[in-house]
Structure 1
Amino acid sequence: MQNSTRAFLLGPLLKGVSRSFYLTMRVLPPGMRDPVGEAYLLARAADTIADTALISPERRLALLLALRERIDGTTNDNGVLAQLTSEVAGQQTHSDEKLLLESLAGALDGLAQLDDGDRAAVRDIVTTLTTGMELDLRTFPDERSGDVQALATRDDLDRYTYLVAGCVGEFWTKMTYRHVPGALAPSLETTMCARGIRFGKALQLVNVLRDCGKDLRIGRCYVPASMLDAFGLEARDLLQPGASLRAQPILFDLVGVALEHFRAAIDYTFALPRLSLRLRLACLWPILIGLETLERLVSNDDWLDPAKTSRITRNDVYRILACSTVLAPSNTLLNRWFTRLIDRIEAKIHAGIKAQN
């Protein structure tokens, strides 16, 4: 792949399909950028296929599995790329996602040019992520059916958060050990991989809770049926007026799980050398954005209403970027910031539980 093509894929195109991840990419140490960027672009292309609701779930699944085989080297047939261009690219309302699907040949060329270790790691992470997308397509009904289906158990939710995000923390850790020698103690590799998995799970739980109302309206309920049963609820009940308050104990429970994962993510960040500012910032930003989102969620009495989103604002993001850049080398100041956020979230939960009783 020519340098100009790589620059376009990992620059303007990546920025177009994910502004937030693009910010993280810009602060990564140089050696990590190509494999992490390649993994993101390939996974984002697969996710675009899985989310194209105008195509039947069965056809999306077939195209997704065909692309996975092309990425993992099971086949070298580029016919799937032509199918994606003709069947999926034209359905995209977002021009950058259309361009991403049309640029897959270049992304695959970039994958082929990675060294053996990075190429194997990228293939492994994309395989895992697409397994999570496959789970979605096999578990949930067609978005246009009007039906709603929930995951069955808490274990199913935990497995889902690993498949679509926890595995990313594991991959990220492996890339750090490969490309930033000395940043992490070799004796801590197993511990850091486990923390990285929990880091990813924390971020995905935030996504699940923040987007719950929107997902329900396309038939997907990631809140497990076993948790709903405990409060006499079914997935469809979460679409009814007043559901946010009825399901608030479930929200508090899952926010508590997310906070425990975030504590592991904070330990992960503090294990990085204080002067490894790029790696620290790449961890700090999602942690702080995630915690501030949780604070909005536990303060939102209509958290299941898509019109009353718990997303933080762009100005909030800019504030987090600016403040964290200044504080990144100081564990003491960062810990105060984290502690204040977590304390406020837990105080809201305790107040909410008391009000329910």
Structure 2
Amino acid sequence: RRKRKPQDPNLAWCWETLIKVSRSYVLVIQQLPEVLQDPICVTYLVLRGLDTLQDDMAIPAEKRVPLLLDYYSHIGDITWKPPCGYGQYVELIEEYPRVTKEFLKLNKQDQQFITHMCMRLGAEMTVFLKRHVLTVPDLNLYAFTNNGPVAICLTKLWVDRKFADPKLLDREDLSGHMAMFLGKINVIRDIKEDVLEDPPRIWCPKEIWRKYLKDLRDIITPEYQKEALACLNDILTDALRHIEPCLQYMEMVWDEGVFKFCAVPELMSLATISVCYNNQKVFTGVVKMRRGETAKLFLSVTNMPALYKSFSAIAEEMEAKCVREDPNSALTV
């Protein structure tokens, strides 16, 4: 873990900002080898700017497309900041040149790594500004577009620094599964918020929700509680199929800190599935893990045997929640 606050005031600001926008991500970054901590902190803030641009609904989609495609070309420009910003990200965007200053202090290899990641991710992000999620393959692609390029680029970084098996470079599919699992959890967790948007942002595939509902907005309507839960459990069950490839990926990570950086978010995602499964509160409020449970899981991930033990415990907990009446219960189990 990082033992002290950076002496450089600008770098210190970057870490403080990271804590504000994603406290949980700070914890996993601090598990990395020290040589990677500052570059990954800067990487996260650069990508957060890109993600904020993608999600800024005040900018028409047709205007966001060229901005996303061109984002990577500006990240070394000290006079530039993303033309967006809302909510908790306003300060980050307003002070974005401070991120650029730290980006320019990185070595050329790390700068190229971040630039390539932004170029690839920005292009992927434009896809679903112009199309809807209708099928499960569409959902796979959507989940990949928001996380896949990052997972692939990070994998190359691990291998280049000799923190992971070089064979991972030939298995982009495993990086993709790591990304899709995280992406699908975000879709599930945010379903109420997205449905309430005007107009609704629908990332749940029509192929799934039409089996239970005539209109996805009915998923938050009390009289459709039974159908809504069946739909929720169907989406959750689809996400579970990524677990085995995720475990294969993590078996090929050598460094303990990098392993923890990769494993903790995946384990938290499985725990989130368990909390959300057959849980009506997904449609009425915010479903979160308790802080104590989160800390316990975080501390439990030290190696593959420990990870398998934690995965197994969560799977057993989820199996106990399965109800025979659910149309997908056999597949879930």
Instruction: Answer yes or no: is 1:348 the counterpart of 2:321.
Output: yes
Q: Which moved more, 1:112-121 or 1:37-46?
A: 112-121
Instruction: State whether residues 128 and 164 of structure 1, in contact with CA within 8 Å, keep that contact through their aligned partners in structure 2.
Output: no
Where in structure 2 are the equivalents of 1:1-357 lying within 5 Å? Answer: 4=8, 7-57=11-61, 60=64, 63-71=67-75, 78=79, 81=81, 84=83, 88-89=84-85, 92-94=86-88, 97-139=89-131, 151-179=133-161, 181=162, 183-191=163-171, 193-218=172-197, 219-273=200-254, 276-305=255-284, 307=285, 309-324=286-301, 328-329=302-303, 331-349=304-322, 351-353=324-326
Alignment: residue pair count: 323
Name structure 2 gaps, 5 residues minimum. 1-5
Instruction: State whether residues 146 and 183 of structure 2, in contact with CA within 8 Å, keep that contact through their aligned partners in structure 1.
Output: yes
CA RMSD of aligned residues (A): 3.0
- Helix, strand or coil: the match of 1:353? coil
Instruction: State whether residues 168 and 249 of structure 2, in contact with CA within 8 Å, keep that contact through their aligned partners in structure 1.
Output: no
Relative to structure 1, the CA distance from residue 352 to residue 120 in structure 2 (aligned partners, 3 Å threshold; closer, same or farther) is: farther
Distance 1:101 1:60 in 2: 16
Relative to structure 1, the CA distance from residue 263 to residue 310 in structure 2 (aligned partners, 3 Å threshold; closer, same or farther) is: farther
Deviations 1:220-269 (A, max 9, x none): 11111222233352333334323442133332232223222122222222
Instruction: State whether residues 32 and 176 of structure 1, in contact with CA within 8 Å, keep that contact through their aligned partners in structure 2.
Output: no
Instruction: State whether residues 238 and 244 of structure 1, in contact with CA within 8 Å, keep that contact through their aligned partners in structure 2.
Output: yes
Deviations 1:303-323 (A, max 9, x none): 322x2x222122222222233
Instruction: State whether residues 78 and 100 of structure 2, in contact with CA within 8 Å, keep that contact through their aligned partners in structure 1.
Output: no
Distance 2:305 2:50 in 1: 41
Distance 1:230 1:299 in 2: 17
Instruction: State whether residues 121 and 145 of structure 2, in contact with CA within 8 Å, keep that contact through their aligned partners in structure 1.
Output: yes
Name structure 1 gaps, 5 residues minimum. 140-149
What's the TM-score once normalised by structure 1's chain length?
A: 0.78
Instruction: State whether residues 39 and 126 of structure 1, in contact with CA within 8 Å, keep that contact through their aligned partners in structure 2.
Output: no
Distance 2:260 2:206 in 1: 37
Distance 1:354 1:60 in 2: 40
Q: Which residue of 2 aligns with 1:145?
A: none
Distance 1:342 1:188 in 2: 26
Instruction: State whether residues 39 and 125 of structure 1, in contact with CA within 8 Å, keep that contact through their aligned partners in structure 2.
Output: no
Instruction: State whether residues 162 and 197 of structure 1, in contact with CA within 8 Å, keep that contact through their aligned partners in structure 2.
Output: yes
Q: Which residue of 1 aligns with 2:3?
A: none
Distance 2:68 2:327 in 1: 47
Distance 1:322 1:334 in 2: 11
- Helix, strand or coil: the match of 2:207? helix
What's the TM-score once normalised by structure 2's chain length?
A: 0.83
Distance 1:127 1:320 in 2: 34
